């Protein structure tokens, strides 16, 4: 389906100082280690700023990592409204096939609200331990793992807890999360193309794996800002919104500090200002009730607190209580800048003419016999084509050809969505950046002609262990 455009407005008409938004963009550009991908800002229900940094675009789905949890929580809220589940039911009530096997009193006392609020009683992430107990069924492994504390008394950021919540929704609805949400959330909000990764058993992950646009993130934030209403319809009960966005469990000391110390709701974090959904490497849905605003951002960074600090420092002061007069010039300047955002391309020059023959057909092996950051990458080759050069990464027998442009970013959709920049840094060294456009990941590959070796280094390492490069895209696409 084609998403209906969000209502748009000049920033000043909604009380937003465009120079403050530009200051935020300046700060993102200046901050080391932050690669923004897409940004949307809504104020009073109107889109006042939207842009994507080339080679990324607004219409491309993006791996949201743990921001997926907020969509899973929304699915649970919709199922609760339909009478299909209750937060105060024991988790085991939904999986009677395990009732005789699971005898630990803490697991038997674990309620749905406990897994929804990351308060299962476990004191640390259980993913590896649950998988060890049952490699084929994460839910079964999780239910076999006794909590160290009583449920509801301690916070631990815990992927199998959300997986369990998602499994309950899929059990009681008889549908995948995506199919259940399509007529109830995605279609009413005008969200198209949202797709979820599944595990080997066929369940959508829930805790991660959702690919959706930054626009979809903004629409979810606006739904919560408006207490579950969208275009005059109450899509999500107001009571669920209130319950999901209040602190259920203290988080201080359990995470990395800063905005992660302020409590957890039902698949939403509390923030210094408002509440948020977020995902690894800089995926954000910031809901600011006091400012009547939503900020949606996709990016690639390990400095997530830095991003939040920049929002608080630059965007919050840009929100004013009423319309701003005489700001047409600032609004136009911001609009122009947002239309031409670009990530810096990797430095590089065309191949030195005197070494072109040496580079043509050259094959490179991993430096030192192995590549720690990408162990599946077994060789790299460089070939001359009529229209330039092709760098081919080979992994487990699968070849990924990448065209090198003449400067800037060379974007390709097949065999998977990528953008490549870089070139020769000297006669014997080729260095390229490979952005996997439907994820927050990019890879730096450097080939050395004298030794016929290469290195490969992630800017942000994929969180799915052993995922092959060809799978770094939205599920359901060709590969």
CATH 2.40.128: which residues of the chain?
Answer: 353-471
Report residue 48's pLDDT band, with 50, 70 and 90 as the boundaries. very high
Q: What integer pLDDT is reported at residue 369 of this predicted model?
A: 63
Q: What integer pLDDT is reported at residue 2 of this predicted model?
A: 54
Burial zone of 354 (CB within 10 Å; 0-12 exposed, 13-18 middle, 19+ buried): exposed
Can you tell me the distance from the alpha carbon of 413 to that of 355, in angstroms, rounded to the nearest whole number?
30
What digits encode the pLDDT tens for the residues 298-313?
999 999 999 999 999 9
As a dihedral over the C-alpha atoms of residue 4, residue 219, residue 278, residue 125, rounded to 10 degrees, the angle is -90
Q: Looking at residues 26-51, what average pLDDT do you find? A: 97
Can you tell me the distance from the alpha carbon of 169 to that of 75, in angstroms, rounded to the nearest whole number?
7
Q: Looking at residues 64-71, what average pLDDT do you find? A: 98
Q: What integer pLDDT is reported at residue 479 of this predicted model?
A: 43
Q: Looking at residues 3-14, what average pLDDT do you find? A: 93
Q: What integer pLDDT is reported at residue 386 of this predicted model?
A: 83
Burial zone of 88 (CB within 10 Å; 0-12 exposed, 13-18 middle, 19+ buried): exposed
Residues 6+ apart with CB under 8 A from 12: 18, 323, 324, 325, 327, 328, 330, 331
Report residue 45's pLDDT band, with 50, 70 and 90 as the boundaries. very high
Backbone angles phi, psi at 330, to 5 degrees: -65, -40
Print burial letters for 362-385: b (CB count within 10 Å at least 16), e (below 16).
bebebbeeebeebebbbebbbeee
Residues 6+ apart with CB under 8 A from 413: none
Q: Is pLDDT above 70 for 374?
A: no
Q: Is pLDDT above 60 for 40?
A: yes
Q: Is pLDDT above 50 for 226?
A: yes
Backbone angles phi, psi at 304, to 5 degrees: -65, -35
Q: What percent of the chain has pLDDT over 90?
A: 89
Neighbours of 97 (CB within 10 A): 8
Token code pair at residue 108: 């038997």
Q: Is the separation of the CB atoms in 330 and 19 below 8 Å?
A: yes
Whole-prediction pTM: 0.96
Q: What integer pLDDT is reported at residue 317 of this predicted model?
A: 98
Q: Is pLDDT above 70 for 416?
A: yes
Query: Comparing 188 with 478, which gets the higher pLDDT?
Result: 188
Q: Hey, CA dihedral for 113, 118, 123, 129, is it positive or negative?
A: positive
What digits encode the pLDDT tens for the residues 241-275?
999 999 999 999 888 889 999 999 999 999 999 99
* Edge-to-edge order in the sheet of strand 275-279: 46-52, 35-43, 293-300, 283-288, 275-279, 269-270
Q: What percent of the chain has pLDDT over 70?
A: 97
Report residue 352's pLDDT band, with 50, 70 and 90 as the boundaries. confident
- Which architecture characterizes domain 11-338 according to CATH? 3-Layer(aba) Sandwich (3.40)
What digits encode the pLDDT tens for the residues 57-67?
999 999 999 99
Q: Is pLDDT above 60 for 373?
A: no
Q: What integer pLDDT is reported at residue 3 of this predicted model?
A: 64
Report residue 31's pLDDT band, with 50, 70 and 90 as the boundaries. very high
| Share of the chain residues as helix, strand and coil, in percent rounded to the nearest 5 | 35, 25, 40
Distances (CA, A) of 477 to 113, 196, 204, 470: 35, 12, 16, 10
Q: Looking at residues 62-77, what average pLDDT do you find? A: 98
Q: What integer pLDDT is reported at residue 405 of this predicted model?
A: 83
CB under 8 Å, gap of 24 or more: what pairs does 331-338 form? 331/10, 331/11, 331/12, 331/18, 333/18, 333/22, 334/11, 334/18, 334/19, 334/21, 334/22, 334/49, 337/22, 337/25, 337/51, 338/39, 338/49, 338/50, 338/51
Q: Looking at residues 137-160, what average pLDDT do you find? A: 97
Can you tell me the distance from the alpha carbon of 422 to that of 445, in angstroms, rounded to the nearest whole number?
10
Q: What is the mean pLDDT of the chain?
A: 95
Q: Looking at residues 389-417, what average pLDDT do you find? A: 93
Can you tell me the distance from the alpha carbon of 115 to that of 13, in angstroms, rounded to the nearest whole number?
43
Q: Is pLDDT above 70 for 53?
A: yes
Q: What angle do CA 126, 128, 134 make, to 5 degrees?
A: 100
HSE-CB of 318 using CA atoms within 13 angstroms: 32
Residues 6+ apart with CB under 8 A from 231: 188
Q: Is pLDDT above 90 for 434?
A: yes
CATH 3.40.710.10: which residues of the chain?
Answer: 11-338
Can you tell me the distance from the alpha carbon of 405 to that of 436, in angstroms, rounded to the nearest whole number?
16
Token code pair at residue 345: 């391309």
Least confident of 157-161, 178-182, 460-464: 460-464
CATH 1.10.760 holds for 353-471: no
Q: DSSP string of 359-407? A: HTT-EEEEGGG--SS-TTEEEEEEEEETTEEEEEEEETTEEEEEEE-SS
Can you tell me the distance from the alpha carbon of 111 to that of 373, in angstroms, rounded to the nearest whole number?
40
């Amino acid at each position: 389906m084609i998403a209906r455009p969000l209502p748009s407005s000049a920033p000043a008409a909604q009380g937003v100082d465009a120079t403050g938004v530009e200051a935020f963009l300046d700060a993102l550009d200046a901050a080391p280690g932050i690669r923004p991908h897409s940004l949307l800002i809504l104020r009073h229900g109107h889109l006042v700023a939207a842009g994507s940094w080339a080679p990324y675009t607004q219409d491309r789905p993006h791996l949201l990592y743990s921001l997926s949890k907020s969509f899973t929580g929304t699915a649970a809220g919709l199922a609760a409204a339909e009478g299909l589940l209750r937060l105060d039911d024991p988790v085991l009530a939904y999986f009677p096939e395990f009732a005789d096997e699971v005898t630990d009193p803490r697991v038997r006392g674990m309620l749905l609200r406990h897994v929804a609020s990351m308060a299962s009683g476990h004191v640390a992430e259980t993913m590896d331990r649950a998988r060890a107990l049952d490699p084929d069924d994460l839910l079964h492994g999780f239910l076999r793992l006794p909590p160290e504390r009583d449920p509801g008394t301690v916070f631990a950021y815990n992927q199998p807890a959300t997986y369990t919540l998602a499994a309950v929704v899929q059990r009681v609805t008889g549908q995948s999360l995506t199919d259940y949400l399509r007529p109830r959330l995605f279609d009413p909000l005008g969200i198209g193309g949202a797709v979820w990764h599944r595990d080997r058993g066929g369940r959508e992950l829930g805790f991660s794996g959702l690919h959706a646009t930054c626009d979809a993130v903004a629409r979810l934030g606006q739904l919560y800002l408006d207490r579950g209403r969208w275009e005059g319809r109450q899509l999500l009960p107001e009571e669920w919104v209130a319950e999901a966005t209040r602190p259920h469990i203290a988080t201080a000391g359990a995470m990395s500090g800063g905005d992660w110390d302020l409590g957890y709701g039902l698949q939403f974090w509390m923030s210094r200002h408002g509440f948020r959904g977020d995902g690894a490497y800089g995926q954000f849905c910031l809901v600011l009730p006091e400012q009547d605003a939503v900020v949606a951002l996709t990016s690639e960074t390990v400095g997530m607190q830095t991003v939040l600090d920049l929002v608080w420092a630059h965007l919050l002061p840009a929100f004013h209580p009423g319309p701003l007069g005489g700001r047409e010039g600032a609004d136009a300047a911001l609009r122009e800048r947002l239309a031409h955002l670009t990530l810096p391309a990797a430095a590089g020059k065309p191949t030195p003419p005197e070494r072109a023959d040496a580079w043509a057909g050259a094959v490179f092996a991993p430096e030192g016999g192995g590549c720690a950051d990408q162990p599946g990458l077994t060789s790299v080759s460089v070939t001359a084509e009529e229209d330039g050069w092709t760098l081919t990464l080979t992994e487990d027998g699968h070849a990924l050809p990448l065209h090198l442009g003449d400067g800037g970013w060379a974007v390709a959709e097949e065999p998977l969505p990528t953008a490549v920049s870089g070139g020769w840094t000297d006669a014997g060294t080729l260095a390229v950046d490979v952005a996997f456009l439907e994820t927050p990941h990019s890879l730096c590959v450097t080939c050395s002609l004298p030794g016929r070796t290469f290195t490969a280094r992630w800017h942000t390492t994929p969180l799915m262990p052993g995922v092959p490069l060809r799978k770094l895209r939205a599920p359901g696409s060709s590969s």
